[in-house]
Structure 1
Amino acid sequence: MGFHTFDPDRAEKLERPERYRFGSREELLGALDLAPDDVVADIGSGTGFYTDEISPHVETVYAVDLQAEMHDRYRTKGAPENVEFVTAGASSLPLEDDELDAAFSTMTYHEFASEEALAELARVIRPGGRVVTLDWSKAGSGDDGPAMDERFGLGDAVDHFEEAGFTTVDGRTRIETFVHIATR
């Protein structure tokens, strides 16, 4: 299902505030419905743009990225003390069963979407825990984000997550992106 990873040589693009037009901090926080003692994972964290926004609201955030170069850039920028770096793919998370209260991915689902990754999320998310997916929509224009043939639609995400044992709580398609909220 998934396609490519983001080129670390273009990582400065991940820090641009205009990313908020595709998904705001407030929208992400509202969708996650966090508690101060929650343990959360940012799947495909990159340089930590959204990780930084979530970290003040939880006990621990795992910044999960397949590319060590992205973690290096995040460390150089400066990461909050409650961020723990995990260099791994979404299909092989070195976390305990039911360890996470929530997970989220922002503009990275198209990079890791696979049966293995969703089964792994189902393993590490506690019963009742949430996964929030904000990604580029195949219904978009293609002016921003990855190539159209690398994108999924909201319906695809709903099907993928439900096949992995999640229940869809909410989902919306917007101009270029979709947001999907699921519980285990």
Structure 2
Amino acid sequence: MDATVKPAARGISMPKNHPFADRWNHNSQQYPRVAELIADCPLVLDVGCGEGTLARYLAEQGHQVVGIDPDSRVLPDDGENTHFMIGDATGLPFADDSFDAVVAVMVLHQTRLELALVEMRRVLRPGGLLVDVGYARNKGIGERLRSAADIPGDLVARIGATRWEPDTIKMDALQGWSETRDAIQGILPGASWERISGWRYLSVWRHP
């Protein structure tokens, strides 16, 4: 990963200090970290934006955000610095080099991962960031043990939080953690990849 990309410090974000304490789930838990990573990226594409919570949050931080999702039921109306549209991750309706950052949260396991990554890479400007938060299926004892290690931290992180689940499409992952990592790094050479809290991974790639 480019040395200028500095992930947030590891650890548990306590809900009482978290901007999504009243809308807490394993995705919103990571939204501040996503925002920190793309702080210097003016124009952002949120792939698989769902009902727009992340997109609106990024807009509040000063970004111009385009959200795209195939589920018309949940797409919100446009708002200040946000524009939402129907579309699919495997065929993004944008020209090459259109965005300073592309973010995707819990998207790749629900689509054709390789095609989606190629499309997100295509619309990203040179020097831009691709930030992907996702999860995978436990395959093998090592992956099961690693996922079990998330349980204590998750119990602590929920203290004082209000559980929230938006009405968005949810699918189980088919690929394992190492399979997902290898697929991402095969298409995005040099991408970082790490397991983070809440049974998620974080991958960051800077377009050369």
Counterpart Cα distance in 1 of 2:201 and 2:44: 21
Counterpart Cα distance in 1 of 2:199 and 2:83: 31
State the TM-score, normalized to the length of structure 1. Answer: 0.73
> Helix, strand or coil: the match of 1:85?
strand
| Deviation digits for residues 21-66 of structure 1 (CA, Å, limit 9, x no counterpart) | 763332111222334xx11111110001111111123442111101
1:135 and 2:134 equivalent? yes
The count of corresponding residues between Structure 1 and Structure 2 is: 159
Distance 1:40 1:159, change over 3 A: same
Distance 1:85 1:175, change over 3 A: closer
Counterpart for residue 101 of structure 2: 102
Distance 1:61 1:156, change over 3 A: farther
Distance 1:182 1:85, change over 3 A: same
Q: How big is the shift at 1:150? A: 3.1
Distance 1:161 1:128, change over 3 A: farther
Q: Structure 1 unaligned runs (5+)?
A: 1-15
1:150 and 2:174 equivalent? yes
Counterpart for residue 27 of structure 1: 33
Counterpart Cα distance in 2 of 1:54 and 1:152: 30
Q: Which has the higher contact order (CA 8 A, sep 6+)?
A: 2
The question of whether the paired residues in 1 share the 8 Å contact of 2:46 and 2:68 is answered with: yes
Counterpart for residue 161 of structure 1: 184
Counterpart Cα distance in 2 of 1:29 and 1:59: 10
Counterpart for residue 67 of structure 2: 63
Q: How big is the shift at 1:102? A: 0.7
The question of whether the paired residues in 2 share the 8 Å contact of 1:43 and 1:105 is answered with: yes
Counterpart Cα distance in 2 of 1:26 and 1:167: 23
Identity across the alignment (%): 20
Bigger share in helix = 1
Counterpart Cα distance in 2 of 1:48 and 1:151: 26
- Higher-Rg member (1/2): 2
